[in-house]
Amino acid sequence: MTPAAPPALRWRALVWAALLMLFYALPWLRWNGRQALLFDLPARRFDLFGLTLWPQDVGVLFGLVAVLACTLVLLTTMAGRVWCGHACPQTLWSGLFRWIERSATRRLRPPALARVVKHLAWAAVALWTGITFVGLFSPIQPLVAGFWPARWSGWETFWVLFYATAAWANAGFLRGQVCIDLCPYARVAPMLCDADTPQVCYDARRAEPRGPRQRGQGSVQQRGRGLLDPTSASDYAFRAAHPALAGPPPRFADDRLGDCLDCGACVQACPMQLDVRAGPQPDCIACGACVDACDAQMRAWRFPTGLVQLASENAMQGRPRRWLRPRTLAALLSLAALLGIGLHYL
């Protein structure tokens, strides 16, 4: 029997599924007999759940975009890269494509059949994604009724195929490279974080020195070894992450090892193929996959979980968290000013 997924993993999967279903449902929502969300470019009108914007209302649209951007800045400063890890379309579709790939590989034989089914499923999801996105700009019901491209206009055909190809390539092949090389928010997000912003952290004092060992040795708490001092823990982690510079790490008896099993589960689970043990990673999207993978290993060995966790730098060092600080105050004041201006003109 397959063990049940831990609560955190089930919660994350439910959030991702809900957001994907919301995207696919958006063009089908109705409001007062019209499509609730529609950028009708030929008619030059934007229907937003009962609010209709015309070309002269472009300032309102820019104001909405500014409010959303300011909210994202505040969210990033307070909670870290929650958007990247749990709501970004690239993360959601990459996760969906990985799930399809794993399911096909696990359930189908021979491997060639699994690959064919995987790509057919990818193509179907990508095509429906393209149709859904174009359905936000062209009424969705006529678009789906004329499903065959011969019944679509030239622009509808072009954009459906364009977004389908983009979804297929980005989620199926590029994946993390989109975040590293193409996403502007990924470049800005680290500058919005500080020592009180939660990020994926590795407890080197408890984990180091890492290494495989025989079962039954117990965790550092069970063995009474205690935590390392910060300098020694950082030194061991640096040596393990940079063997070319520091040389091969020394070997230790099992009873002197930390709780890290050096199993590599955290690296294998990471969609960006990062090693959280190597220190802060600017490309980390804080999705929590490495946390789930490490916690699963800790439970299997009957060690305490939390070797890899979402926490701020100050929390890891036992310092109190500051809620009001320059970044959060600036974001809050900017958001309040934008909302005040919007309410004044509405």
Q: Which of 180-184, 241-245, 266-270 has the lowest mean pLDDT?
A: 241-245
Nearest 5°: phi and psi at 152? -95, 160
Q: What is the pLDDT of residues 150-173, one digit of tens each?
A: 688 889 999 999 999 999 999 999
Instruction: Give me the pLDDT at residue 35, please.
Output: 96
Residue 251 has pLDDT above 90, yes or no: no
- Give the dihedral of Cα atoms 220, 223, 224, 230; nearest 10 deg: -20
Instruction: Give me the pLDDT at residue 288, please.
Output: 92
- Of 278, 247, 246, the closest CA to residue 262 belongs to 278
Q: What is the mean pLDDT of the chain?
A: 91
Q: What is the pLDDT of residues 296-315, one digit of tens each?
A: 999 999 999 999 999 999 99
* Winning range, highest mean pLDDT, from 127-131, 177-181, 235-239: 127-131
- Bigger pLDDT: 245 or 336? 336
Q: Give the residue extent of every domain in the chain.
A: 7-192, 199-316
CB-CB neighbours of 175 under 10 Å: 21
What gap in Å lies between CA 217 and CA 272, rounded to an integer?
32
- Bigger pLDDT: 9 or 125? 125
Residue 147 has pLDDT above 60, yes or no: yes
What stretches of the chain adopt beta strand conformation (E)?
Answer: 30-31, 34-35, 37-40, 45-48, 51-53, 199-202, 308-311
Place of tokens 């937003």: 48
**Confidence band, pLDDT 50/70/90 cuts, at residue 2:** very low
pTM equals 0.89
Percentage of residues in the chain having pLDDT higher than 90: 75
Residue range 132-150: mean pLDDT, rounded: 88
How much of the chain is helix, strand and coil, in % rounded to 5? 60, 5, 30
CB–CB of 328/312 below 8 Å? no
